[in-house]
Amino acid sequence: MTDDGLNQLRNIGIIAHIDAGKTTVTERFLNLAGITHKVGEVHDGEAVMDFRPDERERGITIAAAAISFEWKGHRINLIDTPGHVDFTAEVERSLRVLDGAVVVFSGVEGVEPQSETVWRQADRYQVPRIAFINKLDRVGADHERVIAELRDDLGANAFFVNLPLGLEDRLEGVIDLVRRRVLVFDPATHGRQVEEREIPSALADTVELHREQLVEGVAEQVEWLADKFLGEESIGDDELERAIREATLAGRLVPVFCGAALRDLGVNPVLDGVCAFLPSPSDRPPIRGHHPDTGEELQRVAARDEPFCALVFKVVASPNTDFFWLRVYSGRLGREDRCFNPRTGVRLRLRQLVRLLADRTAPVPGCETGDILAVQGLKNVWTGDTLCDPDHPILLEPITFP
């Protein structure tokens, strides 16, 4: 991948309270991207990302699972994290290495205790995020109440970028506020085919009101848009989208999407939002650390020509071998190149690098900036260890667990 290609890379996590529909959203992502051809349902014990026997038996996510897929010219490395409070360390270690997050809320229950926990964790690591209000096809669903809770309980500067077309059993699709159109998703193709329609005249005033609220909310955070807004100049769809991205990357705005993942309604716009609004590795601040011997403060910029630097953020034991999950922050490394573990003072080679595909892996010839991969066959390497260029050693801050 070239440094230009970094702009098309997204390292994201899906985080939520248990039963908000987080793994269902992930399964829809994989189906839309063509990774799976049959949608695995959590309640049937067939979800691709919940592949452990105990997860399938209980219908919950226990361990974070990673997968990689393509969507509209972007590569997305996705980590599906647990929603249960007992496994919050999995969320912590994932958010430490991710560039962005999709936070899923139930349209019925709204903001729940673990929603607050994962939100604060994302705050701590300054991870930009978008929100998805799910389950709007359920009885009692209310997207307006949920966004009010986002603002009041979480302190989020949240604004709808789309609205549901109908609610509960009358939910038909979503209304795109940025481009002023209705999107209806074909259930026969699991939402792959999307029909664009005109906004019904009965809803035109409501849509314009929400769009004005969105434009005003973004203008408060983005100076150049504020100038156009105050000057009563026309604001184009692409300009509004660019301004939403700027405000989201700065952590000053949370775009909110609506839908019902189980019915394949509104998931495509969330994937589009991941590409449009969440950061690439090059959009994030440089990773900071210090020299292992002198203590001098150092940083690494997300670029291939920087010295190699990666963090081991998870170790997974299996009957045959251990998998060491890596986030590569800078540089590149081939199988025969040596890297250095400053904690142990040992040089090592990453000869068995693999891309993570839920319960499967695929070998790769090397790793480079932005990658989230795993490596096998390492000895005396722990969670939180830094792997770096032997000639340019750096020690990153280890992961702290609650």
Q: pLDDT tens-digit profile of 257-269?
A: 999 999 999 999 9
Residues 298 and 274 in one domain: no
Q: How far is it, in rounded angstroms, from Cα 268 to Cα 285?
A: 29
Q: Could you tell me if residue 402 is inside a domain?
A: no
Q: Could you tell me if residue 264 is inside a domain?
A: yes
Q: Could you tell me if residue 76 is inside a domain?
A: yes
User: pLDDT tens digits, residue range 115-156?
Assistant: 898 899 899 999 999 999 999 999 999 999 999 999 999 999
Which of 249, 283, 317 is the last residue in one of the domains? 283
Residues 270 and 300 in one domain: no
User: pLDDT tens digits, residue range 170-208?
Assistant: 999 999 999 999 999 999 998 999 999 999 999 999 999
Residues 200 and 345 in one domain: no
Nearest Cα residue to 65 out of 130, 57, 56: 56
Q: How far is it, in rounded angstroms, from Cα 343 to Cα 322?
A: 19
Q: How far is it, in rounded angstroms, from Cα 233 to Cα 146?
A: 32
Residues 275 and 293 in one domain: no
Residues 305 and 258 in one domain: no
Residues 199 and 259 in one domain: yes
Q: Could you tell me if residue 38 is inside a domain?
A: yes
Nearest Cα residue to 326 out of 303, 299, 353, 291: 353
Q: Could you tell me if residue 168 is inside a domain?
A: yes
Decide if 181 contacts 257 (C-beta within 8 A). Answer: no
Q: How far is it, in rounded angstroms, from Cα 339 to Cα 345?
A: 10
Average pLDDT, the chain: 89
Residues 352 and 260 in one domain: no
Which of 283, 300, 324 is the last residue in one of the domains? 283
Q: What are phi and psi of 373, to 5 degrees?
A: -135, 180
Residues 120 and 166 in one domain: yes
Task: Domain of residue 296: give its range.
Answer: 287-396
In angstroms, what CA-CA distances link 201 with 43, 126, 197, 207? 39, 41, 12, 10
Q: How many domains are there within the chain?
A: 2
Q: Could you tell me if residue 17 is inside a domain?
A: yes
Give this prediction's pTM: 0.90
Q: Identify the band that residue 53 occupies on the pLDDT scale cut at 50, 70 and 90.
A: low
Q: Could you tell me if residue 73 is inside a domain?
A: yes
Residues 101 and 194 in one domain: yes
Residues 214 and 265 in one domain: yes
> What CATH number does residue 386 fall under?
2.40.30.10
Decide if 356 contacts 67 (C-beta within 8 A). Answer: yes
> What CATH number does residue 163 fall under?
3.40.50.300
Decide if 254 contacts 158 (C-beta within 8 A). Answer: yes
Residues 257 and 315 in one domain: no
Q: What is the per-residue pLDDT for 84?
A: 47
Q: Could you tell me if residue 204 is inside a domain?
A: yes
Q: How far is it, in rounded angstroms, from Cα 6 to Cα 22?
A: 26
Residues 257 and 296 in one domain: no
Region 316-334: what's the mean pLDDT? 90
Region 64-85: what's the mean pLDDT? 81
Percent of the chain with pLDDT over 70: 89
Q: Which carries the bigger pLDDT value, residue 306 or residue 66? A: 306
Nearest Cα residue to 352 out of 314, 380, 326, 386: 326
Which of 283, 315, 347 is the last residue in one of the domains? 283
Q: Identify the band that residue 346 occupies on the pLDDT scale cut at 50, 70 and 90.
A: very high
